[in-house]
Amino acid sequence: MADDEQLRAALVEDLDAGFEAVVRAHSDVVHAVARRTVSRAADAEDLAAEALLRAYRALRGYSPARIEALTLRPWLLTILLNTARNDRRDAARRPRTDGVAPVPDHPASAPGPAERAESTELGDHLAALLAELPVAQRTAVVLRHVVDLPVAEVAVVLGCGEATARSHAKRGLDALRARLAPKETP
């Protein structure tokens, strides 16, 4: 994978080719976070695509100096999470009026190992527990422990200090552990 310095230089030299390189370098992380941000795989694909489109559009208006100052992965994930937040807010403002129930999320082809593991009962249970966490804790847990971002990048994405990012991740993990712990019966 190309490092950020090479990717930024490629963007400054040729935005289209440089952005292709950025997508190749960071699309796995963008898709992984999108998949853990929304409940349906199709929605995650849409979210990731929309975030990457917004990133490209933003870059078109950036000066070379601003592009050189970017830390690409946290910048892309911030756009992704802002897009998800905007989508949730817009959906809440727009009640469903078509009377049609949402279509269940079924893969079009045979599931691969990742999809099979994700669809297990435990995976579903963990996803539900993760969804119950406050947004900052959920985001910190996903970025730090699922996507394995360094704390410094988690802090950039969350827009807080490193100590606060660590605290959100720890509190999120503690909450998950408490919910997963076996219930004591009297």
Q: What is the pLDDT of residues 70-91, one digit of tens each?
A: 999 999 999 999 998 888 777 7
Alpha-carbon distances of 153 from 51, 76, 100, 120, 180, rounded to whole Å: 18, 11, 41, 30, 28
Assess whether the region 1-92 and the region 115-186 belong to the same CATH fold: no
Look at residue 186 and tell me whether its pLDDT is greater than 70.
no
Range 1-92 classified under CATH 1.10.1740.10? yes
Supply the pLDDT for residue 20: 96
In angstroms, the CA 157 to CA 84 distance is 13
Handedness of CA 124, 128, 131, 133 (dihedral sign): negative
Alpha-carbon distances of 148 from 86, 110, 184, rounded to whole Å: 25, 28, 33
Per-residue HEC secondary structure of 132-170 comes to HCCHHHHHHHHHHHHCCCCHHHHHHHHCCCHHHHHHHHH
Domain boundaries, the chain: 1-92, 115-186
Question: pTM for the complete prediction?
Answer: 0.70
Look at residue 38 and tell me whether its pLDDT is greater than 60.
yes
pLDDT band at residue 110 under the 50/70/90 scheme: low
In terms of CATH architecture, what is 115-186? Orthogonal Bundle (1.10)
Most confident of 37-46, 118-127, 161-170: 161-170
CB atoms within 10 A of CB 46: 15
CB atoms within 10 A of CB 143: 30
Q: Are 34 and 84 in contact (CB under 8 A)?
A: yes
